[in-house]
Structure 1
């Protein structure tokens, strides 16, 4: 007979009452007449069913003899206790129960006919191993302790999930080996105790149906709903924020404790800095707020709850309880909040402050569509739950602050991953040695003997383009206004209109000349103060009004000026910068694989970047100048790729812009120091400052003896000082010419003297305007090609 819930078991099970029958036979021989007579009468009845003693193979025998079995078990199931005890006959861990107490029967009836009573979190492997442990402890007298509580989760008539702790009594069970049983040694016991999770080992030592389990057990349940729900709440609140079942599980737990089938849970967070409540920023799709409902936040706490005074909640920090929302809404001052709750079908609610060290963290909301089911009495249940909610909310706040700090660091004060380790070491040292009574002096972050690489791709003539678009927008706006004034008919102030036309024409003529620094501001102030009031206050015919309306629709809402040409220019600048930065960032991922190095880039009128490579930045790896050479070749290839991408973009840009590219070669190692006041790295030392001077001025420099800029569109300019630098880059150029990335012509020239810097030279080459290639070449490949 197989009565197992699971397919495999170490037991061959037989229901038997032999131990109980033997007990009755002893009672029948006693001198106490009423006990002896009762036992004799019962033994006579069961003589017709030898299976009761030898073992029941057919479960229908139990079903057909319920009354007799009830009498047989009467001493174990007292009638006086049947309405209170939750008790039944069972085989431990197996799916067979009968002879229920009245309370147990009622519980199963309320659960419904489809309910399947299974042990919570108890799978097939656990069943097998626990059954084996039962054999070890009973037959082999070992002490394999498992104290994990077992539960049945059974819904009541209202659908509220109740949790019942399971206790087994195995006094009437016997365990004996079959011929298939494996004889175990002390070594086997040691092996098993160290390998609880090895199901194959357990099945090897306890083969399927290798032991007899004869007799019966008694299962007793007690209602542990509150204790179990609190334990589940702790586990649930520790789950990941992205758990889709988190809110549903939490509400089920609260419903179990409050015994309210439609109970819902909400939460709002208190923002102390701005004195307002906000929706939880975590798990937005799961956690809601019934107070804020469709709002993201409140203006301030005084107006937080629709004009209703909640001093009890905010000032006294006690729960605010509305047991009857409909009645509450009829009281003066409460109408708005009452209407807001009723709109969500909320008939009773508890709003409880979540406090940590008397500091308000937020408000937990319990709501129901039933009147009076949430009240001042069951609000005391929150005392059991709030400690876990408080810890969770505090953890969420800490995690949120950490995430915010991470975003601020990433977006605003980034510390590159290559140098993060040194900042981390200094911060750890601060926490290890910091004495609160003294000011800790942070050690400066310096990286010595690093090689710099600098490059840029710049928008050619960006300042002139910007000025031209500003002038074009201002001229178009003035033209439009002059046209409106020509059509403007008014019976009054004709001389004023003429005066304004004259002034606008004068501004228009001024725009034919070079744009001055304050011209745009002057015209903007003039139009807003002198022209717009006339347009808004004049009485005009429908045709003229249409012109005025169209004019105002054309204005930029921020500046009240035309923003047509400038928008095309700004959009084109944005597209170029975004695309160039994207390529540079994408290529940087590969560059870090060459050798980890410090990298930073800036968007200006184009994109420029700094790289520093050396042993001090990555002390865990051996540095070689080969990595520097590889990085220089990578930089040249990346600028080629950026130039090609711009060439593809030019035809689709809203405003045509050209770019120039430049690389500055500096072969002497230098030191970089993190400037604490500026929160950025800068070169360190007077000699190294020459490098920074060249960086700032070189792109505006001319070829020596000419007025020609060293940078030109669709060309890359490489600035250097020494002949060995020239020889190195000529290798790279010839290699990329061989790969059809650069054109054959190479320009070489001297650069005019800069302030404090002389002797600079340059190479200039043009990128082949073909489709961009994704091929990347290493320094080793270059050497193989050249050799």
Structure 2
């Protein structure tokens, strides 16, 4: 043990910001309490230490850190009381400090060496959180005052994450530095001020000025007495795991960088700079593996095979054999005997690799790729290494599966963008343009350009069927599932606490209750991630231990783990119900529109395009330029407009009729944008879709995209409402035309007699919008079409 005084701050002259004195009295009071309550043999040791302190004059002294050596024996008794008996001080990071952590006066050998070698970095840690040492010290002081004297627990934790590069391995290590203030008493000098907690609370969090709280609670009113306990915990493994988890969540990251970060974390876990990793997802086209891609380029075997020209048939044989029988293969050393048996090892040896291993990675029981582990300068003992990496395998599997999904999405995107089949109504135009392009090439015209496919003077029709409050419904389903899971977890822990006496059980129950309160409002992505971390790192390992070692509790714990099954578990029930319900609604709408296209096209050829959102949107374009061989008349436009209103009513009735089949109640809204003027559209070669042409026509697109959430003027009411059809327009003539369609459909029993004429709020750059809104008749039986 060391009694040299160590300054926690880099500043040698740092001064505590509140009056304090170093004393053993709070510790002695703690001992007295333990002697009276302890029922085991420990009580004898506590009694012995208590007697020693009561006989020693140090109990009545206010010490200085520099006096620590005089009281070494008493300090070592404190160490013996507060630390595990088997703790090795050469490996145990532990120290005693002043009441407000400023100076360490007793430390284990491990802590002393750590501080001596890393002291210059301690200041940098605080700066990394935008806090100077003095500011952090002040936050510690106020946090303790509010907790002890006001019963107000702040969000500030007495811990700090610290990282440094281990000089032996050259890899980052992470420590959690925790300060335990149990043996600190606060003496009040004068009257305790009253506090408005609502005003104070925001100032308790990091990166917030403490000016307000300093005015309300001047520090000269308080005196801190006792000492604090500082301990360091190596959390390198947990931190590296969290880094991998963060990479999985960060979908916006460059994929190559993502792999580099994950591999760096794997090296950190291995604690060996000489061990290299490579991750390779199994990508395929038509069930044939492919290797010419960025993800595979990091593979040590593939690099060596290309560099040293491994025979293609040898490489293919290795791939085929491994695909048929995926299993761990590792070679602690690459000897001539092994190379004779496995020829592909020759190129690895030429590449300078001395040890090599391949390990299959499974996702949902399917082999999705491999993890290569190898070294250029030493023999690797893979069995020992794999035990360290075991916890990372599920996350590695997810990473590889994500790469496979992204690759397949890219392929599908190319197919969709480059080879989407064209509707017959416009195919003829593309045939003409393609033929002109071919003729230019055949005539050896320099730099032939493909003509833009354009249809001029066509009438647009836009419709949107949306699932009402889909975002709110998703959050609500998630919230209900999490409440169900946390309630089940709390019940499980309470059941265990009746038979297994552990304080940790109570702590986990308390955390469950905190999470239940936390998720009662809107749940953010960060909340989900933090809750997953709590369950994965704290709860699940805890329950797994008791499931394996306490057979009597297995049935109780199994019910909790069964709830975690995404396909059948109670913890996903509401989300499954929501997705099933949304899928049923959208599938029904799509099937209706697919069937309806036949009727629409029979009256007059038109271009009909659907888009999938939370519901379904569609564009229809009709006009002479789309069918030049057939005379166009405005009556065809009127016919399709009448069809659009009627189809919206039929879709509304259809989705309303699905209510009994929906696992979760959902409603749809129905919107039509009326635009009387003809526009021009052209096919955008870069996006492989039709778009409007010209500044005036673009205004149509702008309005179309902004009206889905428009409000009625002077109110907070959304125009679109379940059970109603909303028709947005500009000109009175448009309203008069649609008024006729509505009255006809009311007589036919499609619509209710509740037509509204509404003024709408101004949108950005758009004013003068109006709307018709009419209810759909869900009661009357309609004539068969």
TM range (shorter): 0.3 to 0.5
TM-score by length of 2: 0.47
TM-score by length of 1: 0.46
Q: Choose between structure 1 and 2: higher helix proportion.
A: 2
